[in-house]
Structure 1
Amino acid sequence: MSQQLGPDSLVEDVQQALAELEDPKARAINERHGDDFGVNLSKLRALAKSLKSNQELAEQLWNTQDTASALVAILIAKPRSFTLEQLLQWSKQASTPKVQSWFLSYIVKKTKLLEQLRCALMLEQDPVLEAAGWELTAHQVAKDPDKLNLPELLDTIERRMVTAPDRLQWAMNNTLANIGIEHAPLRARALAIGEKLQVLADYPTSPGCTSPFAPIWINEMVKRKA
């Protein structure tokens, strides 16, 4: 970067630094995964670290509607400063896979409004927004299951997962796997649903990695916990 960024940096400074980090190879890789930015994530994280936490700058960067700027915004935002209305607004704008993933992980999961947002997103008709709700549901299956009706979730997954759009299907599958992994009384049913639906059964998996096919994933994680 041609200039040193710090807590007093402006939006223009950050975007100039991001432009200097643009890498066509990184962009090509990211675009294959549905993302439209070309900055190496390690370098983007380092840039964000130099800015420190700054909610005002985060909101300004987010409003540029530029994906790399949005990722920096997520890293420097203060999760507990968000209202439910702001979380809903950002959820609707976090449409690309990486932005949605980081927004849920680095902001939503660190707020006390997680469950309220999850319930709101589960009612959305947009499959991208509903996918965010299901990703938060997968999180709650492990972290706060008392707020969920797990048998009802399994009913919904069994009924809808096969025909769901890709990102929604993936999030439902994460929830199915987490139920099977974390809740022994429901494990047999989760395994049976996975075997019946065969969702992600043929997903290419690198050597040494666990398949996202729910029956394989559940059995492998349970074995590791034993």
Structure 2
Amino acid sequence: MDFETVMRELEALGKERTKKMYISNGAHDPLFGVATGAMKPIAKKIKINQSLAEELYATGNYDAMYFAGIIADPKAMNESDFDRWMDGAYFYMLSDYVVAVTLSESDIAQDVSDKWIASGNELRMSGGWSCYCWLLGNRKDNEFSESKIFNLLDFVKDTIHDSPERTKSAMNNFLYTVGISYLPLHEKAVETAKEVGIVEVKRGMKKSSFLNAYESIQKEIDRGKLGFKRKYVRC
């Protein structure tokens, strides 16, 4: 399936209601408004195709960029490729759910995430923390340095309330993910989340969100989800 065919198929799947929802979250034209589940049949036909993924991502069309993440070959991408994708990620649904997800299936995921977290750029930081969430929620606990995750928890505790808005949200999610999916530091994450307390995330013209990782962790424990790992990261 070539580039033009994929773009035509995506356009045909677009729905005005979905488009409006994406725009309300920060997307802008060009986009078609394709529900992510509706992309699966096309993805099954293509499977993995990095060169096509690159063409689609370069369009700046949100749906095409999202689909690029589904068919990309993360192991064929190097650090500069991920940086280039992050440069094109103009809002959090791209930085956290396309670029961070794709990065999480590469061998350089932690190294790149560390650089993004230290970058001072809101969406790069958000993408870096989000990548750790995807990693911790999927890979075995022994693939991580316990002291490194411990230090990241302390860093969240010290900086979350003064961080940029989208970064706050991803950091809060990191607290929650360590608390549920990384058993060696479950108790440390719970204690940190308690100390952090409620995190206010301002959302422009919308009402602020108030996040509480401690409560979220407790709810998942009550549901028997402690130690939860996803089988797959990408859909």
TM normalised by structure 1 equals: 0.79
Residues 179-188 or 61-70, more deviating: 179-188
Write the distance in 1 (CA, Å) between the matches of 2:136 and 2:154: 15
Q: Report whether the alignment pairs 1:33 with 2:32.
A: no
Query: Which one of 15, 22, 25 corresponds to residue 7 of structure 2?
Result: 15
State the identity as a percent: 20
| Unpaired stretches in structure 1, ≥5 consecutive residues | 1-5, 202-210
Q: Report whether the alignment pairs 1:192 with 2:194.
A: yes
Counterpart of 1:178, as a letter, is T
Counterpart of 2:165, as a letter, is D
Q: Residues 85 and 194 (structure 1 numbering): CA distance in 2 closer, same or farther, change over 3 Å?
A: same
Q: CA deviation at 1:87?
A: 1.6
Q: Secondary structure at the match of 1:124?
A: coil
Q: How does 1:37-52 map to 2 (within 5 A)?
A: 37=31, 38-52=33-47
Per-residue deviation, residues 3-56 of structure 1 (Å, max 9, x unmatched): xxx3xx2x2222222222221111111222223431122222322333332211
Q: How does 1:146-165 map to 2 (within 5 A)?
A: 146=145, 148-165=147-164
Report the equivalent of 2:115.
Answer: 120
Equivalent residues of 2:122, 2:164 under 8 A apart:
yes
Write the distance in 1 (CA, Å) between the matches of 2:225 and 2:38: 35
Report the equivalent of 2:127.
Answer: 132
Equivalent residues of 1:177, 1:190 under 8 A apart:
no
Report the equivalent of 1:167.
Answer: 166
Larger Rg: 1
Higher relative contact order (CA 8 A, sep 6+): 2
Report the equivalent of 2:69.
Answer: 74
Q: CA deviation at 1:225?
A: 4.6
Q: Residues 18 and 25 (structure 1 numbering): CA distance in 2 closer, same or farther, change over 3 Å?
A: same
Write the distance in 2 (CA, Å) between the matches of 1:174 and 1:51: 32
After superposition, the CA RMSD in angstroms is: 2.5
Equivalent residues of 1:48, 1:75 under 8 A apart:
yes
Q: Residues 158 and 22 (structure 1 numbering): CA distance in 2 closer, same or farther, change over 3 Å?
A: same
Counterpart of 2:99, as a letter, is F
Write the distance in 2 (CA, Å) between the matches of 1:88 and 1:97: 15
Q: Residues 150 and 19 (structure 1 numbering): CA distance in 2 closer, same or farther, change over 3 Å?
A: closer
Q: CA deviation at 1:141?
A: 4.9
Q: Secondary structure at the match of 1:149?
A: helix
Equivalent residues of 2:179, 2:190 under 8 A apart:
yes
| Unpaired stretches in structure 2, ≥5 consecutive residues | 202-209, 227-235
Per-residue deviation, residues 76-104 of structure 1 (Å, max 9, x unmatched): 21121111221221122223333231332
Equivalent residues of 1:180, 1:188 under 8 A apart:
yes
Counterpart of 1:192, as a letter, is K
Counterpart of 2:126, as a letter, is A
Stretches (4+) displaced over 6 A: none
Structure with the larger strand share: 2
